[in-house]
Structure 1
Amino acid sequence: MVRRIATQVHKQASRLLRAEYIKERPAWFQAVLDHPPLPLPPRAPPARTGDDLPKKLSSARPQDPKVFSIVYAEDELRRQFFRDHPFEAFRPTTLTEGGAIRDVHPIRGNQWTRLRQRGRNPSPEDCILFALNLHKHHYLSINQAYLTSVAQFRSLRSEHHIATLVGAKEAEMHGAQFGWTQTEIIFNKETQALETWQKKHEADLTAAANRKRWRAIVERNGPISEFTKGREYVRLWKEGVRPDYSPVLTSTSPTEDAVQEPMIDFMGTGSQRS
């Protein structure tokens, strides 16, 4: 049955009984007929005063409500920092937090006056948080706080870089041996890849030569004659001279070369047999 309001339930049941869709009267049918439910009061429109009435009716579509954008100061600082230091994004970092999230550093707020207080090798996030801290707790403008934080960040990074180079030199002087750097490993992989290309080219040349192993290679030791377009061959054929195409199976000595009969070259003049 379609869902209806209380005042229409018994009416719908009566229509179903007349259509013999329901064979027996429900137990509640006679009771509802004797005591029908009260009708619902009509819905009256809310009272309006003169100020509530619209001044001008318009069929135009109402304007959509504007949503204000959520802007954080650290996002602007982070965007400007990586625009000025793009290579900082290539430094390796870890996204694993471990068993728990790192605790908040004890030095913060008004106590945090220098970036060095968070360590001698600060990260980009430390620089951004320090600039935000200067802006909030030391009442510097956002631009001045950013310039101060970046200047200290660059100084600490320079000190760390120089200390690392000096430490590596001292370790090498004491006999330490360092492995390949990541740059050298990549260069070696590129060299190996180029060598595979050279080997593949040589293999292709060898395969091409093997495919041509049935090609006849004629070695001419005599002088190169002029091409006669087959007229010399026809002349010898008319004279009854038969060519000999059998290969030389044995090598001859220099004394035998003097008594050998000349082999006729059908492409030009006669030449001595090799």
Structure 2
Amino acid sequence: MGRLDLTAINVRKTVLQNIASGRISTTPIWTDVVRDVPPAQILIRQQPQKHRLTRVRTRTLPNGRTEQYAQVTEPKKARSTKTQNLFTPRHLRYEEDELRKSFFNDHPWELARPRVVLETSGDQYKNADWSKGVQQPGIALSGESVVQRQLWLLENVPDITVPQAYDVARKEFYALRRSEEIRNRIAAEEARHMGARFGKSAIQVSMGIENDMYNDWDAWARQMVNEQTQRLAAFSGTVMASEEDALRDVNKAEEQRPPAAPIGAGVFAQQQKTDARAQRNDAA
């Protein structure tokens, strides 16, 4: 079977040839449509376009005015020129991805915080004004807030660098986190004062699990050592440490036992008197 040309016009021609030769008995309903309205392009997959990284910055001009400009970075050429990678999708590059990577590398525990995922219209960020700070109404405080705040600073503050914008957004985020933790601690203290009981904390639960695991490991290690010692003692004929401990316990128990009444001189004299009295009775 030869290779077929998959353009729409040639597919119609191929179908017509198959009908004429008798390979196909019925004419497809789309043949007339393709004849009247031919396709605008062929059915060959085009090569994906390269996605350029665009950064928007603000700079100060010599006359004192400021202007925004775009920094466009062309993607690097692919090292692999194999045909199998010719039509693979290109990696999309955005500046926010680099800012997120930098923030979460410095704050990995922010990813462990519980998040509330709700189905919304998706436009909750439409009315956000990141010029007023990290905290926005209707948006929970998270690492994404820091990223958006830093991006706004980079695009609108003249001659600011990435580390400077990161420090500004990061310090605002720290201040809000501190106030949030203080508020939660005060609320918990007030609840305990009114009789609420919260049970064990996360640290106490984790420490209890760690202690249980350590005790299990300690018991298993003692059992393994005891079995290994018994195995070695069976071959060498030596006394095990456990047997020595048992003998030591037996000796200690015998030492603590109260001694029996000894046969002293008084008891021996009494026995002699009894024997003498019996002899006199026999003589009489």
TM-score normalised over the length of structure 2: 0.42
TM-score normalised over the length of structure 1: 0.43
The structure, 1 or 2, with the larger RCO (C-alpha pairs under 8 Å, 6+ apart) is 2
In our comparison, the structure showing a higher alpha carbon Rg is: 1
